[in-house]
Amino acid sequence: MSAPPAAWADTAPRGAVLLTSRIATFCLVELQRMRHDRSELVTRAIQPILWLVIFGKTFSRIKAIPTGQVPYLDYLAPGVIAQSALFIAIFYGIQIIWERDAGVLTKLLVTPTPRVALVAGKAFAAGIRAVTQAVVVLVVAALLGVGLTWNPLRLLAVVVVVVLGAAFFSCLSVTIAGVVLKRDRLMGIGQAVTMPLFFASNALYPVSIMPGWLRVISHANPLTYEVSALRALLLGLPTNLWLDFGVLTGSVVVGICAASALLGRLSR
Amino acid sequence: MPDAIAMSGVSYHFGEQVALSDVDLRVGEGECFGLLGPNGAGKTTAIRLLNTLLPLQDGDIQLFGLDVRRQAMAVRRRLGYVPQQLSIEGALTGRENVAWFARLFDVPRRDRRGRVDEVLEMVDLSDAADRLAATYSGGMVRRLELAQALVNRPALLVLDEPTVGLDPRARDSVWARVQDMQQQYGMTVLLTTHYMEEADELCDRIALMHRGTVRAAGTPQELKDGLGAGSSLEGVFRHYTGDSLTDTKGGLRDVRATRRLG
């Protein structure tokens, strides 16, 4: 075995290559985690299935929500995908606090991984987990007769939207973790912000039927843009996809910067 | 050739609490150097400063001639670090845990699999490598952490109380691996421990720390000889500090814990 220091150490990747490498690494680790615990995939699928089967079917019958020519169940399905991704991502801050308490975060911070890359890696790992959930919801929706697109390019774009949405909300969660520092506090705040984010979006009903004040909030809520993009891609409903992708991408960038800035508080 | 570690005039405080006060320390390449002291002596703070976890407030630290303030990434590439806590990802196998760190240290893809196998074999975990790490005993977890810390072939291996909480057999096993690896790699080892007999046996040189300062430094024999024939390191420590090494009252570990609880 040759002696250190290793010659390759200073020719290691930097910049965008380093960032991409770290994101790929954290996504791979997330896939490995999921492979070892497939039960979570099943348990996490229960809630979206209930939303589609009970809420969706019931509200389709009573026709209480105006969705134009689109059946309410079809209208709801993209909202449930976005909601599933949100519910997965919003608790990633708890994972990082657990990693802090278990000493794993300390070890990660001593690797040649800039904090931005570490947060970005975790954010996109949340996206990977959310995509698996989205696949489950899509299959269930198809089984319930929702008229979804099966165009591979549109489905690829759906994956991108889900990843961006989950990445942003996981960053939001890590940012809150960096402020509150404790798992139980984050649990409370996570629960407190999740439902308002959900209800102040177009996941369940169109923005046009919201009261004015809620409409303003929904326009500032990245979940609205995620749902709009998903509806456009899966159902062909009209939206400004450039705006949706722009808002989601911008939110992810801001989220990564905010979470990275607060990561140091967690490690001290 | 620059020292492996050169700390000069390093001070650090957590709010009003002084953790380190004007610490000077030099560790040569290839040395096994021990930082000894009770809880709150400043050992872990010193380690967290040199491995870039804490921002330097006062003084200078260089690792292999690299400034920890300005060249943090280059410093980290030369480090292997085993923290106090048993800290592995239980939802991954042993092999996946090590491969994770191989990727984070940019071990080239062509070398990665071989390197992971090599360090797992070194810490005697080849047979358990494909089991979930959550099923490992404390001693196995510590050896897995050593494998993680060594997969990038670090120039400096930092071990922060690596045998705390382990039974005597597991402790012996961990130290045997560390000694083997130091001989094979020729790397520098910086360790902290409460156990005097471990330091006496393993370390080329020792620094005795107490309340944020280095009270004495030298080879174990020099320190013992300085106190008189038949002296022990425990006696040396008591001589310099008027305290017992096993004194666990107060200290910065408690400060850190309190900060997290607050």
Instruction: Give me the pLDDT at residue A9, please.
Output: 53
Alpha-carbon span A187 to A189, nearest angstrom: 6
A174, A92 contact by CB (below 8 A): yes
Measured at the alpha carbon of residue B115, what is the angle toward residues B109 and B121, in degrees to the nearest 5? 150
B52-83 pLDDT, tens per residue?
Answer: 999 999 999 999 999 999 999 999 999 999 98
CA dist list (Å): B252 to B6, B68, B87: 23, 23, 20
Q: CB-based contact (8 Å) between B2 and chain A?
A: no
For residue A75, what is the DSSP state?
H
- Between the two ends of chain B, the Cα-to-Cα distance in Å is 45
B182, B31 contact by CB (below 8 A): no
Compare CB distances from B85 to A1, A2, A102 and report the shortest one's residue: A102
Range with lowest mean pLDDT among A70-79, A181-190, A197-206: A181-190
Share of chain A above pLDDT 90, in %: 68
Q: CB-based contact (8 Å) between A107 and chain B?
A: yes
Range with lowest mean pLDDT among A26-35, A211-220, B221-230, B233-242: B233-242
Calculate mean pLDDT across residues A4-11.
51
Alpha-carbon span B55 to B219, nearest angstrom: 30
Alpha-carbon span B244 to A148, nearest angstrom: 72
* pTM (predicted TM-score): 0.87
Return the structure tokens found at A73: 């169940």
Alpha-carbon span B216 to B237, nearest angstrom: 9
Q: What backbone phi and psi angles, to 5 degrees, belong to B208?
A: -95, 120
Compare CB distances from B154 to A4, A12, A103 and report the shortest one's residue: A4
Interface mutation vs chain A, best among B50, B87, B183, most A CBs within 10 Å:
B87
Q: Which of A107, A104, A111 is nearest to B107 (CA)?
A: A111
**Residues in chain A within 8 Å Cβ distance of B152:** 6, 9
The burial of B51, by beta-carbon neighbours within 10 Å (0-12 exposed, 13-18 middle, 19 or more buried), is given as buried
Calculate mean pLDDT across residues A119-139.
94
Compare CB distances from A102 to B51, B76, B87 and report the shortest one's residue: B87
Q: Would the pLDDT of B252 be above 50?
A: no
Map residue B14 onto helix, strand or coil: strand
B131-160 pLDDT, tens per residue?
Answer: 999 999 988 998 999 999 999 989 999 998
Instruction: Give me the pLDDT at residue A172, please.
Output: 95
Q: Please tell me which residue of chain A has the smallest CA distance to B150.
A: A4
Q: Which of B173, B222, B228 is nearest to B198 (CA)?
A: B173
Q: CB-based contact (8 Å) between A15 and chain B?
A: no
Q: Which residues contact B6 (CB under 8 A, 6 or more apart)?
A: B25, B26, B60, B61, B62, B63
Instruction: Give me the pLDDT at residue A83, please.
Output: 94
Query: Is the four-CA dihedral B80, A100, B21, B74 of positive or negative sign?
Result: positive
Query: Is the four-CA dihedral B139, B104, B43, A263 of positive or negative sign?
Result: negative
Strands of the sheet containing B66-67, edge to edge, are B17-27, B5-14, B58-63, B66-67
**Residues in chain B within 8 Å Cβ distance of A4:** 78, 153-155, 185-187
Instruction: Give me the pLDDT at residue B245, please.
Output: 55
Q: ipTM score of the complex?
A: 0.86
Q: CB-based contact (8 Å) between A211 and chain B?
A: no
